Structure 1
């Protein structure tokens, strides 16, 4: 019986992978002198479009893309009251000038302010993280890298596929959070809003040797469909490329434009 179940499971996995539409987007990465992949989920068609099946399942640090879930957990547990509660800057000068100020959740999300989310992590604690990571089926759920660092090039790892699955659940509000928490997070995630579409997204950057890893994840709510996307880029950490941060977003925008989205 166990062998039969294992066989059925393997067939399901095989079908899931073979049902994906593979499309070559490598030229968009090459023109930025980067390696990486683009992955999309068409909500209406229930179809994945992936640049590489192996890359789709490859896990790396989520870096600041974890701020989406981190914000949900912080609000739900009361680690922070709402998006307007201010946490005072500790006066320590950090590498990003925008971080050197008092922050509320809105600004901390926008600026990817590491110290702010590390303070939230101390308030949340390991037990609550373990519970929510399991309930949300987020990544490998490994926080052994440290309470304030596990998502920063450390023990927490996630694949583009898992990122997309999480974003779909967020959109559908099928995660263990209140309507109030969903409403706040969806509001602070807004990056662009036009009469034609609404874009919610988050960038991430893990710059730990030997590789720089950049993310751009989110979803576009158009009039007739919703498109979920994940872009992940790589470069050797000793390779100087000032455009690396911007390239994540530019590659995504160029591919979406080529796909006529939105």
Structure 2
């Protein structure tokens, strides 16, 4: 064996392991179901890749619509009001940020499920359905899981409410253009509490969403979670609206929504025309 071969030989197992790890990582990446980008105002589609017309659960992206509804109905009154207390029995799987007093800005920032539930229970299914239909928000179905009467608790989380990426973008276009059939203040306050991220010279505002499909036995399939990132991006006076939807191929440490946002923000400079 020559000297170079003697050096390379011990490295072969390491190289093989690295290649296997890379392949495994690539296989585990969430599958992009749709990426849709449109010009705000005109709604002209600039990029559409994948199936953007099939409806699925909106998961926590519904919080943007619920914020619009909550402000228009008067339940929400500002970025810091109302402050609502965590109560025993409220969903707490989001960690410490879910087990403390919460205002609208915190609600969107930390995606607090129980705060959404306070709004939905205060307004009721009839009002929510009426608003969703007026906003053309998907199928406007707040019935919840069949036979469980849980629509006000989770219609938007892998349950009855469903929306397509195209419908998401149409709603977002109305939100940023100020043309939704609600008060201007409701739209402005919703925009103000939406989280933003800088990438490639753009300021990207958006909301993530994560939900796991149910199996026949009602358990959740954590290996096939849906991930959303929807919102709008601004640069030099121009505004684009977007939606990306993914589905996991195996269970991962990060939530599908967070992973979708991270990848989208990395991709965005190459996606924006």
| SS of residue paired to 1:147 | helix
Deviation per CA, 1:121-153: give whole Å up to 9, x if none. 111111211111111111011111112211111
Structure 2 unpaired stretches of 5+ = 1-24, 145-150, 215-220
* Alignment partner, residue 6 of structure 1: none
* Alignment partner, residue 33 of structure 1: 29
* Aligned with 2:74 (options 59, 72, 78): 78
User: How has the CA–CA distance of structure 1 residues 157 and 30 changed in structure 2, closer, same or farther, with 3 Å as cutoff?
Assistant: farther
* Alignment partner, residue 240 of structure 1: 251
C-alpha deviation, 1:50, in angstroms: 1.2
Comparing 109-118 with 173-182, greater Cα deviation is found at 173-182
| SS of residue paired to 2:70 | helix
Kindly report which structure 2 residues correspond to 1:27-66, keeping only aligned pairs within 5 A, or say none.
Answer: 33-36=29-32, 37-43=34-40, 46-52=44-50, 55-66=51-62
| SS of residue paired to 2:138 | coil
8 Å contact kept, 2:210–2:255: no
CA RMSD of aligned residues (A): 2.3
Structure 1 unpaired stretches of 5+ = 1-28
Matched, 1:212 2:209: no
Comparing 244-253 with 121-130, greater Cα deviation is found at 244-253
C-alpha deviation, 1:227, in angstroms: 1.5
Matched, 1:249 2:261: yes
Kindly report which structure 2 residues correspond to 1:139-178, keeping only aligned pairs within 5 A, or say none.
Answer: 139-145=138-144, 146-178=151-183
8 Å contact kept, 1:34–1:234: yes
Deviation per CA, 1:158-188: give whole Å up to 9, x if none. 0001001110011111112212212211110
